[in-house]
Structure 1
Amino acid sequence: MTDLSLLQLAMILGGVALTAILAGILAGLLGVGGGIVLVPVLFWILSMTNFPPELSMHMAVATSLATIIFTSISSARAHNKRGSVDRSLLRLWAPGIVLGAFSGGLAAKYIDASGLKAIFGTIALLVSINMATPKTLVISDHLPRSKAVNGAISYLTGLFSALMGIGGGTLSVPLLSGFSVEIRRAVGTASAFGFMIAVPAVLGFIYSGLGVEGRPPLSLGYVNLIAAGIILPFTVGFAPVGAALAHNLDTVWIKRAFALFLGITAIRMLLSVFG
């Protein structure tokens, strides 16, 4: 365990709470997964303290994934009630998603902080460009017919989602939309993918982090239970606030502003690795 002063601990916990509030509001306002907000800000908060830099990214990613287990359940239930979860698509992609996510969690044992930052920064930059682009990139007018191709796509989606600490929406919704899946089906099915990503990925990150020196108190592998416990009620509680704001604000400009924030964050992360 790392030795943190009370002031440092208070700064971390306060920052975590504020980040969770922001993630919850943006999730409701823009429909983005909380992980894409939580991971970079948690990493930044940890980096501002004397927390071991080689652990900051691993802890941020794993803790974000732990919260997604619970938030994805409520989200998937809500979408399922509206009939927007495509069960045939779920069955088609589920094996690859689960295997990829578990592989990502286990791979964290062999990927250093720079590697995780490079992965997050690269994909987050692509996500920010996609968010800032008004038109949806169309790959095909239908899903691939080959089970092997679907397996490869779903495996990579699970793998990179796990390594980034994000749920199903950030990568799978743009992908499914690119294959001309109707947006409500894409979002609804992606909410179920979130659970399928988070559970095996967290198990992998727990195993990968066992016995690693320098972790904060009450950590299970790379998952910090204190931070996860603080994040959950705030993200769940403030998501409806964001949803309410969405009816009164011009979300187009907010989405572009968030895309700018995400792009800058991604570039800063990449510069910290390659700069």
Structure 2
Amino acid sequence: MLDALWWLFPACLVTGSVVGVLAGLLGIGGGLLVVPVLSYLFPLAGALPEHVMPMALATSLASIVLTASSSARNHYRMGNTDIRVIRTLLPGILLGGLMGSALADHLPAEVLPRVFGGIVMLLALQMFVSMRVKATTAPFPSRVGNLAGGTVIGIVSSLAGIGGGSLIVPYLSHFGVEMRKAIGSASMCGVFLAISGMTGFVIFGLHHEQPLPAYSLGYVYLPALLGIAGTSVLTTGYGVKLTTRLPVHIIKQVFSVFLLLVALSMLF
């Protein structure tokens, strides 16, 4: 992949700039866009088929660690986090993140894109429907319930290479957590989820039978990580500013349709 760096790195810079704007505008994690883009770029750069999806997922999670940390820190400073919620949800999320990366490492190369496509399709439908259906609340679950819920969220998020905010926010709001606290707590949990999933991908990648490309840390491809994170951090603020000027609910509907198309392309 060394010969492809001259075009792969600029492509990741462009991807990161778009991811940053969408993250600020729609409040989503970048994995929903980063993973499909990298799964398209890595084969062109000469990556082996069995490496493509694990590398895309791992690099996406690593970029989330870098970009989401700033958001989580700002939410914490503004008092938008609920420590009780984070403390009860975090063990399951950490466990699920590792389990998801282990599962991704053992799934056949032709199956993993379909798993990602299925998850993205469900997330796109959830994004579209959530704007039309009135939310309901239920009593906050016990520690055991949150352990189970966090584990499922961690597994699904790690398999999709996302920070889990699109799952954690509706999960918390369903159980009566005020939306501002749900978003702030989800951003904090998302950082740890990404760290957990990324760590698993690094460990399993280091022990992979076939050698990975140069400049890889396990399954994390460092040039792509630096390109995506380098620009997404800078453009997130522009996305936040656009929320006051653009019809975000319409953009979310358009983006959910886009995600459905991405899911279908990964499935078929």
SS, match of residue 264 in structure 2: helix
Residue among 222, 245, 249 paired with 1:252: 249
Residue of structure 2 equivalent to 1:69: 65
Deviation sequence 1:8-48 (CA, Å, 0-9, x none): 33332222111111110100111111111111111122234
Residue of structure 2 equivalent to 1:157: 153
Residue among 264, 268, 274 paired with 2:265: 268
Residue among 209, 212, 217 paired with 1:215: 212
Deviation sequence 1:55-101 (CA, Å, 0-9, x none): 11111100011111122221111111111111000111111111111
Residue among 45, 54, 59 paired with 1:58: 54
CA-atom RMSD in angstroms: 1.8
Aligned length: 266
| Cα distance change on mapping 1:31 and 1:100 into 2, 3 Å | same
Residue among 207, 230, 236 paired with 2:233: 236
Deviation sequence 1:236-266 (CA, Å, 0-9, x none): 0000011111111111221111111111001
Q: What code does the residue aligned with 1:181 have?
A: V
Residue of structure 2 equivalent to 1:191: 187
Q: Distance in 1 between matches of 2:189 and 2:31?
A: 14
Q: For the Cα contact (< 8 Å) 1:138–1:179, is it kept in 2?
A: no
Q: Distance in 1 between matches of 2:237 and 2:100?
A: 31
TM-score by length of 2: 0.93
1:170 and 2:166 equivalent?
yes
Residue among 81, 84, 89 paired with 2:85: 89
Deviation sequence 1:198-256 (CA, Å, 0-9, x none): 11211110111115335222101100111111111211000001111111111122111
Q: For the Cα contact (< 8 Å) 2:128–2:256, is it kept in 1?
A: yes
| Cα distance change on mapping 1:162 and 1:250 into 2, 3 Å | same
Unaligned runs of 5+ residues in structure 2 are none
The offset of 1:178, in angstroms, is 2.5
Deviation sequence 1:105-161 (CA, Å, 0-9, x none): 2333312333322221111111111222223564643322x3222211111111111
Q: For the Cα contact (< 8 Å) 1:19–1:42, is it kept in 2?
A: no
Q: For the Cα contact (< 8 Å) 2:54–2:105, is it kept in 1?
A: no
The offset of 1:187, in angstroms, is 0.6
Residue of structure 2 equivalent to 1:11: 7
Q: Distance in 1 between matches of 2:6 and 2:247?
A: 35
Unaligned runs of 5+ residues in structure 1 are none
The offset of 1:5, in angstroms, is 6.6
Residue of structure 2 equivalent to 1:118: 114
1:80 and 2:109 equivalent?
no
Q: Distance in 1 between matches of 2:68 and 2:214?
A: 26
Q: Distance in 1 between matches of 2:108 and 2:166?
A: 23
Residue of structure 1 equivalent to 2:223: 226
Residue among 11, 14, 19 paired with 1:23: 19
1:136-151 correspondence runs (5 A): 136=133, 138=135, 140-144=137-141, 146-151=142-147
Q: Distance in 1 between matches of 2:63 and 2:214?
A: 18
| Cα distance change on mapping 1:139 and 1:126 into 2, 3 Å | farther
SS, match of residue 113 in structure 1: coil
The offset of 1:102, in angstroms, is 1.5
| Cα distance change on mapping 1:67 and 1:173 into 2, 3 Å | same
Q: Distance in 2 between matches of 1:204 and 1:179?
A: 30
SS, match of residue 109 in structure 1: helix
Identical counterparts, % of pairs: 38
SS, match of residue 55 in structure 1: helix
